[in-house]
Amino acid sequence: MEPLFSIVIACHNHEAFIRKAVDSALSQRHPGKEIIAVDDGSGDGSAEILRSYGKSIVFAGLPENRGAGSARNHGASLARGKYLVFLDGDDVLMPWALDVYDRLITACQPELILAKCARVVGEIPAVAPEGIPHNIQFVTYPNFLSKDRPWVYNTSSFIVHRSTFQSAGGWSPDIFYQDIQDLLNKLAIAGTTALVLAPATVWYRIHSTNAIRRITPFVEGIHVLKAKAKAGVYPGGLVARWRRNAWFGGLIFYWAKEALRSGLYWDAFKVLLSDGWLVVFGTLQRSAAWLGGRRPTLTLPLDLNGGSRLDSTPERVQP
């Protein structure tokens, strides 16, 4: 039988983290899963670690570094699951991640699930009995651009129907900074989107080599998104264009603020000088949504059988 989920792990020089990432995928309670790990031309011991899992995972080693987008696309091309769950090699799925996604799929058949991540520095915390969730709080929207609540953009918190992903052309290999924003622009009107408010399902690691620490490329990436939108690369017509501009306004405000915090005053000045009107437009749009009333929060029960399997050892099959 085809699995419901294909967990696609992209890895580049993640020797210190990759075992935790794969183990977190193997430890998922949900039986309908496959794990696909792509080593993107690592120069450390990442590939050797992944090979040690044998037939427990589908391993694909790229001979040279092609970039995260290409590595994820390669993993997705090997997938058989109905839904793709992307996981970066330095992040970790929480034990109930697939259970949460499965309940949402049963309830509303979304094209996209925007999950919640929790940031962690250092070791991944152990699961305490009182920390096991018992329900899911979420909001559904007709499409991504209808979203009226913030979401932390994170590859490892992104789940998408495989055929929808394929129809959109997958990840763009030519963009890394703002890559998930680019993909979401391509999927902006794809269909029902579920935004998870609780519980968190992913540990997002904070470490010295996080790409998010490089402020300037992310600021420049906004200009790439805008140019693609202006060229008509993204779908949706005029209505989507206005909503997309409001979204861009939020991105510009966030990255201008981060640039100021990092002392990159020229970067902040440039982006606000050229696109400050989008910040104002985005603020007005969000205020109108707030005054008009946000879409209601929904709740689903989450039965994890008392958590008896949440600390189980990953099922590994040797070569």
The full set of domain ranges for the chain reads: 5-211+298-307, 215-292
Single-letter code of the amino acid located at 55: K
CB-CB contact of 36 with 81 (8 Å)? no
Determine the pLDDT at residue 319: 45
Determine the pLDDT at residue 155: 95
Determine the pLDDT at residue 246: 87
Helices (H), 187-264: 215-230, 237-261
Summarize pLDDT for 123-155 with one digit per residue, the tens: 999 988 889 999 999 999 999 999 999 899 999
> Model-level pTM?
0.92
Determine the pLDDT at residue 314: 55
Summarize pLDDT for 232-264 with one digit per residue, the tens: 999 988 878 888 888 888 888 888 888 898 898
Pick 5-211+298-307's CATH classification: 3.40.50.11930, 3.40.50.2300, 3.90.550.10, 3.20.190.10: 3.90.550.10
Output phi, psi for 151, to 5 deg. -145, 135
Q: Which residues contact 290 (CB under 8 A, 6 or more apart)?
A: 148
How many angstroms separate the CA atoms of 166 and 75, rounded?
12
Which residues of the chain are modeled with pLDDT < 70? 306-319
Distance of CA 202 to the CA centre of its chain: 9
Determine the pLDDT at residue 313: 52
Which tokens is 226 given?
A: 């805008």
